[in-house]
Amino acid sequence: MNDRFIVTIDGPAASGKSTLAKLLSKRDGFLHIDTGALYRTVGYALGLNPTKEQLDNLDLTVEKKDRIVIKYKGEDVETFIRTEECGMLASNVAKLEFVRDFVNDFARKLAAKGKYVIDGRDCGSIIFPDADLKIFLVASIKERALRRAKEDGKSVLKIEKDIEKRDKQDKNRKVAPLFKPKGAVEIDTTNMSVEEMYLKVKRLIEDRYEHNNS
Ligand code: DC
C-alpha cells in the first residue's frame, strides 16, 4: 500500500477548487494545501515586484491543522488575502519563475506521508505530475461571478470582469500557464450542486484508491 495519496485540483478563478478541497479535508481527512494562498501571501507581504532576496528572507511559517495554515510574521493571514485585489497581486507575482520555484518547493515539502489535496493552477501539471488523481474544474464565467458575488456582496458584472482578466493572465503567461493537466478528469460544475461535485470526486478517489491497492 502507498503511504501517500495526492489529489490535485486545478482550474480557473472561482471554479470551486477550494470548496471541493475543504470538503475533502473536512469529511475525508485530506490535508489541504492551497497554493493560491501561498501566491496571495507572497503578494500581500511583498507587493507587485518582489526580489529573490526579499522572498528568501520572507517570514513564512505553517501550522498543520485540518488545513495548512499559512502564517506571515507569525500571524494567520487568511482573512487579509482573500480580496480580489490580492488575487490579482498573486496572479502577477505568479508570473515570476523564482516565486513559482519557491511555492512549488514549499508545497512538495509539505506533502510527506498521508492524504493531501492540493489546489491551484499547475498542481497536476508541474507540482505533482504523478498525483494519484487529477481534477480539472471548469464553470461558466457567469456562474463563477455569481458564486463570488454571493460570498463578498460585490456587483456580479465587476467580479465577472475581474476574474476574466485574471484568468486571461493565468492562461497566457509564459511560465506554468493554467491548462488541463495530462490525465486530469474535467468536471464542469456550472449546473452542479456542491454535493454533486463532492460525490463525483469522492467516487473517483475511491476507484483510484482501489486501483492503486489491488
Ligand atoms: O486560487 P487563487 O484564486 O487563490 O489563486 C490566486 C492566483 O495565484 C491565481 O490567479 C494565479 C496564481 N496561482 C498560480 O499561478 N498557480 C497556482 N498553483 C495557484 C495560484
Which residue's CA is the closest to the ligand 1 atom numbered 2? 36
Distance 39 CA to ligand 1 centre (A): 6
CA proximity to 175, closest of 114, 58, 93:
93
Q: Is residue 118 in a domain?
A: yes
Structural domain tally of the chain? 1
User: 120 in ligand 1 pocket by Cβ < 6 Å?
Assistant: yes
Q: Is residue 102 in a domain?
A: yes
Sign of the torsion formed by the C-alpha atoms of 39, 44, 50 and 56:
negative
Q: Is residue 111 in a domain?
A: yes
Total-model pTM? 0.95
Distance 184 CA to ligand 1 centre (A): 18
Q: Is residue 4 in a domain?
A: no
User: 35 in ligand 1 pocket by Cβ < 6 Å?
Assistant: yes
As a whole number of angstroms, the distance between CA 140 and CA 138 comes to: 7
Residue-level pLDDT at 1: 52
Place of cell 475511491: 206
Q: How many CA atoms lie within 13 A of 141 on its CB side?
A: 12
Residue-level pLDDT at 103: 97
Strand partners, 201: none
* Candidate of 40, 98, 121 to mutate for ligand 1, largest count of ligand atoms within 8 Å of Cβ: 121
- Tens digit of each residue's pLDDT, the chain (214 residues): 578 999 999 999 999 999 999 999 999 999 999 999 999 999 999 999 999 999 999 999 999 887 889 999 999 999 999 988 999 999 999 999 999 999 999 999 999 889 999 999 999 999 999 999 999 999 999 999 999 998 888 899 999 999 999 999 999 999 999 999 999 999 999 999 999 999 999 999 999 999 988 8
Q: Is residue 1 in a domain?
A: no
Q: What is the CATH number of the domain that holds 112?
A: 3.40.50.300
Residue-level pLDDT at 115: 95
Q: Is residue 113 in a domain?
A: yes
Which residue's CA is the closest to the ligand 1 atom numbered 1? 36
Residue-level pLDDT at 70: 95
User: 170 in ligand 1 pocket by Cβ < 6 Å?
Assistant: yes
User: 123 in ligand 1 pocket by Cβ < 6 Å?
Assistant: yes
- Residue pair 41/81 in contact (Cβ under 8 Å)? The answer is yes
Q: Is residue 83 in a domain?
A: yes
- Residue pair 81/18 in contact (Cβ under 8 Å)? The answer is no
User: 100 in ligand 1 pocket by Cβ < 6 Å?
Assistant: no
Q: Is residue 5 in a domain?
A: no
As a whole number of angstroms, the distance between CA 17 and CA 33 comes to: 11
CA proximity to 127, closest of 138, 116, 137:
116
Residue-level pLDDT at 67: 81
Which residue's CA is the closest to the ligand 1 atom numbered 4? 36
Domain extent for 185: 10-212
